Amino acid sequence: MPGSPPNHWLSRLRSYFILDPLIFLYTGVLGAISLTASWFEKSGRTQHKMAVAWSWLILKTSMSPVRVYGAEKIDFSKPHLFAANHLSAMDIPVLYTQLRCQFRIVANRELFRRPFVGWHLKRSGQIPIDRSSPRATFKSLQLAVDDLKTGMSVAIFPEGGRSADGTLQPFMNGGFYVAVKAQAPIVPVAIVGTYEMLPMNTFHIRPTKLEIHFGDPIPTIGLTTHDLEKLSEQTRAAVAAMLTKTR
């Protein structure tokens, strides 16, 4: 726009002609390796390692370091439901580099239709959430329950999508059904800075100092589906409190 400082345009040029092409390259190369490995190894460990490498390269290339708070509270050797706020597509690399365990992500079904990314999501066992009907949603959530019961952690974005303005949105209750049915603890997760790094509807990546905060695990032993709204409110309050502390 007229009057914009020169460094604004330099930032755009760097993103469009250096960062974005490199990220597409990483996605293509590591996605191809991941897809090939998926035909020989069914546990998903190799695909997870490729996703971690992809995420690490993106954050390093984007010059966006991540500071971690509260990870010492979490026993990553045990299955948890990680419930994070959702600001940007860059939330995914932050989770992959900072969750010290293999995990599945519950993601919108539309992502699974994209080339490379969608193929990787399918072959690595990620869980598409289908909201076309209550029955379809239940079937999707049951896959996540099964993963937790077999010892695999699961990550969800309870807001149901990225925040358009960078503020925390209301949480949906459905994801907490997964934790209750598996009787697995819920870990509130607050991600900071990814909205400034890459908001919705742009490919302009800005180098940003990022943070991820882990809250105290919320137990679900003995809880039932009647407690979903309470769990949703409790988890959102924990995420909101961590976000408030960073301001």
Q: Could you tell me the CATH number of the domain that includes residue 116? A: 3.40.1130
Sign of CA dihedral 111, 115, 118, 121: negative
| The token pair that represents 238 in the structure block | 């924990």
Classify residue 48: in a domain, yes or no: yes
Classify residue 115: in a domain, yes or no: yes
Rounded-to-integer distance, Cα 20 and Cα 31, Å: 16
pLDDT at 7: 65
Top pLDDT among 60 and 111 is at 60
Terminus-to-terminus CA distance in the chain, angstroms? 29
Rounding to the nearest 10 degrees, give the CA dihedral for residues 192, 93, 163, 204: 90
pLDDT at 40: 85
Classify residue 204: in a domain, yes or no: yes
Q: Which amino acid is at 201?
A: N
Q: What tens digit of pLDDT does each residue of 65-81 get?
A: 999 999 999 999 999 99
Counting the structural domains of the chain, the total is 1
Mean pLDDT of 47-59: 95
pLDDT at 117: 75
Axis-axis angle for helices 20-38, 45-61 (nearest 10):
170
Rounded-to-integer distance, Cα 66 and Cα 68, Å: 6
Beta carbons of 178 and 144 less than 8 angstroms apart = yes
Classify residue 147: in a domain, yes or no: yes
Q: Which domain holds residue 166?
A: 6-245
Classify residue 1: in a domain, yes or no: no
Q: What tens digit of pLDDT does each residue of 183-197 get?
A: 999 999 999 999 999
Reported pTM = 0.92
Classify residue 160: in a domain, yes or no: yes
